[in-house]
Amino acid sequence: MKQIKRRYTMYPAWEYKQEIADMNALSDKGWQLKKGGCFRSVFYWNDTARYRYALDYNNHIDDPARYRDTFAEQGWEFLNDTFNGWHFFRKRYDPSLPPEEYEIYTDEQSVREMAGRWSRLGYAFGAVELAATAANGLMALRLPSVTGIAITLACLVLGAAILTGAWRIRHPHVAGKPRKSLHWCFTTAISLLALGLLFGVLRYYQSSSSEYVYDPSAPPWTWEMSAPLPDFYTMDVEADTDAMVKITVTDKNGKVLAEMGGEDLQAEKTLFLWPGKYDVTVQYDAGTPAGTSGFFRFEVD
Amino acid sequence: MGKNAEPLTESYFYILLCLYDGPSHGYGIMQRALALSDGHVHIGSGTMYGATGNMMKKGWIEECPTPDADRRRLYRLTDTGRRVLLDEADRLRRLAAAADGIIGGEK
């Protein structure tokens, strides 16, 4: 049988009691925590022992030796701590002892102090996330893209969840019962981030451009462009000519999606396109005299 | 304790009380507090670390040397801590006397 098990689970900080309950349940089944972490925990197999675990959040320990000694005096074995200030302890389980024996915070004031330490960090981090939401949101408004919108939403969900959590860690119960988990917020935020990054990478190499030299005697020039992903596409047009020029983007059913026109045109238009092929047509006024020439460049990004 | 000082929590009170007649370590304080309170006051390690740390900062208790082989931390009451304890005990006695005067032994 496998002796080591790695568990990739993320618990919101304010739901640390659920993490303790899960570690206790695994211990009863024979899986003992070797190293705890925010994203990954390692367990080893030993069905001859049962432990109860404790998680402490303290990111500013004045005297680390005294801290660990104080826990050791009551039978708590220090396992490890995490980069962000969580400390994992365990104690051999004796069913004859009362449950208080396995609590590290036993009065309201110290529970409040511990919650307050994380709460302050949570409010600060939540505010940073909301600032990131605003910055990404402004960028997404200026240059819309699925990547920008997904990252903005991810920051918003994460920021709102963390701010809620910063409050919840101090108010963990509603009508005497534990509150519903906000774990889904993290799943949602991570999914949105992954979607945004995936679209960003896929779109990175997909800009295309075409150039055209005007010839008034030629029929309208058409270039076929493709949209490989459902996303926002920015059409950047640059025309240097004396002629009045009109550029039309149509789908394959002939539906006009965008029109740009003018002399010495410098235009940028952003369109949401579903995957498919589209036609870009360049025409110029019927009255454009023969011999008028110019340069036209169309770039899709 | 000054007139405007806040009442002590049970944990703080019992830690000071357990040190009244001599130094003790965290585990000893915890056991004694449990016994003195008929099993009502259990002082967990996190609470003990925070409370002893705060009380050392306030100058109510201090660490005293322990034999090299002993990792347990030994604490003793300072004169300030003794005063805080006596004031709090006095306050509690007055509260209990006032309660007794009205409701007697009714539980």
**Using one digit for the tens of pLDDT, what is the confidence trace for A226-241?**
888 899 988 888 877 7
Nearest CB among B30, B41, B46 relative to A105 is that of B46
Pairs of residues, one from chain A and one from chain B, whose beta carbons lie less than 8 Å apart:
75
The pLDDT of residue A112? 93
Interface of B with A (CB under 8 A): 9-11, 25-27, 30, 41-53, 63, 71-73
CA pair distance A92, A77, nearest whole angstrom: 9
Residue B107, in any domain of the structure: no
pLDDT at A77 exceeding the cut of 90: yes
Higher local confidence (pLDDT), B107 or A89: A89
Residue B75, in any domain of the structure: yes
Nearest CB among A101, A103, A113 relative to B50 is that of A113
Chosen domain end from A169, A185, A204: A204
Residue in chain A closest to B40 (alpha carbons) equals A100
Query: Per the CB < 8 Å rule, is A69 touching B10?
Result: no
Residue B50, in any domain of the structure: yes
Chosen domain end from A204, A231, A249: A204
Mutate to test the interface with B, among A107, A112, A113, A118 (most CBs of B within 10 A): A107
Percent of chain A exceeding pLDDT 70 equals: 94
CATH code for the domain in which residue A224 is found: 2.60.120.380
Number of domains forming the structure of chain B = 1
Residue in chain B closest to A71 (alpha carbons) equals B45
Number of domains forming the structure of chain A = 3
Domain boundaries, position A241: 208-300
Q: How much is the average pLDDT of A88-92?
A: 97
The pLDDT of residue B76? 96
Is the same domain home to A116 and A92? no
The pLDDT of residue A267? 79
The pLDDT of residue A103? 96
Is the same domain home to A71 and A149? no
Residue B81, in any domain of the structure: yes
pLDDT at A193 exceeding the cut of 90: yes
Chosen domain end from A152, A176, A204: A204
Instruction: Identify all chain B residues contacting A56, using CB atoms and an 8 Å cutoff.
Output: 46
Query: Per the CB < 8 Å rule, is A76 touching B45?
Result: yes
Is the same domain home to A34 and A119? no
Residue B57, in any domain of the structure: yes
pLDDT at B5 exceeding the cut of 60: yes
Query: Per the CB < 8 Å rule, is B51 touching A98?
Result: no
Percent of chain A exceeding pLDDT 90 equals: 62
Domain boundaries, position B91: 10-100
Mutate to test the interface with A, among B47, B74, B75 (most CBs of A within 10 A): B47
Highest mean pLDDT among A31-35, A203-207, A242-246 belongs to A31-35
pTM above 0.90, yes or no: no
Is the same domain home to A196 and A248? no
Q: For residue range B18-72, list pLDDT tens digits in order.
A: 999 999 999 999 999 999 999 999 999 999 999 999 999 999 999 998 776 777 8
Residue B2, in any domain of the structure: no
Residue B105, in any domain of the structure: no
Nearest CB among A54, A73, A107 relative to B26 is that of A73
- Which of A52-66, A123-137, A223-237, A238-252 is the least confident region? A238-252
Is the same domain home to A92 and A119? no
Higher local confidence (pLDDT), A174 or A110: A110
Buried b (16+ CB within 10 A) or exposed e, A145-174: bbbbbbbbbbbbbbbbbbbbbbebbeeeee
Residue B88, in any domain of the structure: yes
CATH code for the domain in which residue B81 is found: 1.10.10.10
